[in-house]
């Protein structure tokens, strides 16, 4: 059986697709997997700030279009980029084992966040990371940056910024873990929903392919994904909301922590709860309700303006 995976063309996206290929072929000896690289809207426009695109799916639409037009069977995505309302006719059919979920700081001289002098320039493309950074270090200057991982590292080396905030998993997957100056504490820098997880979409009616990509992980990544994505869906929050959430397994239970901030980092609403690991959806819904009662919807609405 031949199986085609659609993927973005960035080095990280291709790594993720190759990992999906390896896991599928290792589990199913009769399957031959090939890749179909496509160019996403975000790849084609690397100058516009992500928050200004004005539409969802800028990293995922072209990948999923290959499924809808039957040029591919599976779409490979960074789960944090995949909206909770999946394209009509498609479904989230599986996930790969999670990488490290944290954010990291990269500086040229190895300085950590506490060591940065006031006025230091830290670059990120994420409104969440910007808000979390300003909440902790309002004396720093936050710069917008676009491009793939290597492009951002090059900008740092050229002196355009004093530090970068990036996802831990992407650097490790590309063999660039030695560039990390500090792994940021999740108590302060809660990651984006699904950060470090690779998600696999299929056509909703393609049960044969769904069976091939289901259960590629047994480390609880699927539980984490369901709890976190249920939470942000219940809030009606998009990928660019200044919102962090992380689900972890703790002795037979799931712990879900979340925070929503104003874009300037001056206001924050947070919650923390645990529940039975057999009910990740219920945990996500319950914590979302708690934060909505605290006024989360106002901060989310402000971020859209």
The answer to whether residue 22 is catalytic is no
Whether 152 sits among the annotated catalytic residues: the reply is: yes
pLDDT of 229 reads 97
State the catalytic residue, choosing from 128, 179, 224, 229.
128
188 domain-assigned: no
Residue 26 predicted with pLDDT over 70: yes
pLDDT at 61: 87
| 81 catalytic per annotation | yes
Q: Which of 8, 152, 179, 224 is catalytic?
A: 152
pLDDT band at 45, cuts 50/70/90?
A: very low
* Average pLDDT across the chain, whole number: 92
Q: Do the domain assignments include residue 126?
A: yes
Question: What value does the mean pLDDT take over residues 201-224?
Answer: 94
Q: Which of 8, 21, 81, 203 is catalytic?
A: 81
Task: Give the pLDDT score at 206.
Answer: 97
Q: Indicate if 110 and 58 belong to the same structural domain.
A: no
| Total tally of structural domains belonging to the chain | 3
- Choosing from 8, 21, 64, 80, the catalytic residue is 80
Beta-carbon contacts of residue 49 (< 8 Å; ≥ 6 apart): 125, 144, 146
- pTM of the predicted model as reported, rounded to 2 decimal places: 0.91
Band of the pLDDT at 239, cuts 50, 70, 90? low
Q: What is the CATH number of the domain that holds 133?
A: 3.40.190.10
- Identify whether 10 is part of a domain: yes
CATH number at residue 250: 3.30.160.40
pLDDT at residue 43 is higher than 60:
no
Domain that holds residue 77: 2-97+197-219
Quick check: is 129 catalytic? yes
Does the annotation mark 146 as catalytic?
Answer: yes
Catalytic residue among 8, 21, 129, 179: 129
- Would the pLDDT of 186 be above 90? yes
pLDDT band at 51 (very low <50, low <70, confident <90, very high): low
Q: In this structure, are 202 and 61 located in the same domain?
A: yes
Residues 163 and 246 in one domain: no
Strand-pair partners of 269: 260
The sheet carrying 32-38 orders its strands as: 32-38, 2-8, 74-78, 198-203, 90-95
Identify the active-site residue in 162, 239, 247, 257.
239
Cα Rg, the chain, nearest whole Å: 19
Q: Is residue 264 part of a domain?
A: yes
SS3 132: helix
Give yes or no for a contact between 181 and 103, defined as CB atoms under 8 angstroms apart.
Answer: no
Looking at the structure, tell me whether residues 14 and 91 fall in a common domain.
Answer: yes
Q: With beta carbons less than 8 A apart as the criterion, state whether 173 and 99 touch.
A: yes
* 159/155 Cα distance (integer angstroms): 7
Question: Per the structure block, which two tokens stand in for 208?
Answer: 């044969």
């Amino acid at each position: 059986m031949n199986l085609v995976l659609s993927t973005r063309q960035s080095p990280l996206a291709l790594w993720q697709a190759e990992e999906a290929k390896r896991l599928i072929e290792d589990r199913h000896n009769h399957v031959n997997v090939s890749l179909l690289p496509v160019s996403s809207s975000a790849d084609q426009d690397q100058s516009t700030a992500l928050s200004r695109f004005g539409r969802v799916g800028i990293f995922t639409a072209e990948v999923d279009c290959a499924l809808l037009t039957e040029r591919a069977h599976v779409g490979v995505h960074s789960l944090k980029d995949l909206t909770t309302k999946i394209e009509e006719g498609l479904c989230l059919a599986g996930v790969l084992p999670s990488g490290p979920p944290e954010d990291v700081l990269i500086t040229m001289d190895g300085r950590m966040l506490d060591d940065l002098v006031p006025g230091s320039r830290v670059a990120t493309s994420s409104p969440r990371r910007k808000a979390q950074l300003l909440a902790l270090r309002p004396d720093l200057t936050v710069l917008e940056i676009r491009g793939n991982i290597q492009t951002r590292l090059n900008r740092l080396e050229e002196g355009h910024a004093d530090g970068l905030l990036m996802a831990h998993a992407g650097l490790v997957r590309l063999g660039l873990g030695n560039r990390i100056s500090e792994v940021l504490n999740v108590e302060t820098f809660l990651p984006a929903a699904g950060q470090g997880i690779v998600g696999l979409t299929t056509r909703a009616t393609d049960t044969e392919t769904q069976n091939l990509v289901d259960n590629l992980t047994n480390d609880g990544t699927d539980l984490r994904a369901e709890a976190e994505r249920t939470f942000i869906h219940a809030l009606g929050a998009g990928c660019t909301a200044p919102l962090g959430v992380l689900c972890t397994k703790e002795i037979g239970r799931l712990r879900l922590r979340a925070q929503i901030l104003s874009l300037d980092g001056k206001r924050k609403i947070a919650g923390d709860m645990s529940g039975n690991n057999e009910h990740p959806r219920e945990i996500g819904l319950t914590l979302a309700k708690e934060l909505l009662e605290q006024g989360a919807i106002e901060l989310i609405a402000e971020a859209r303006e």
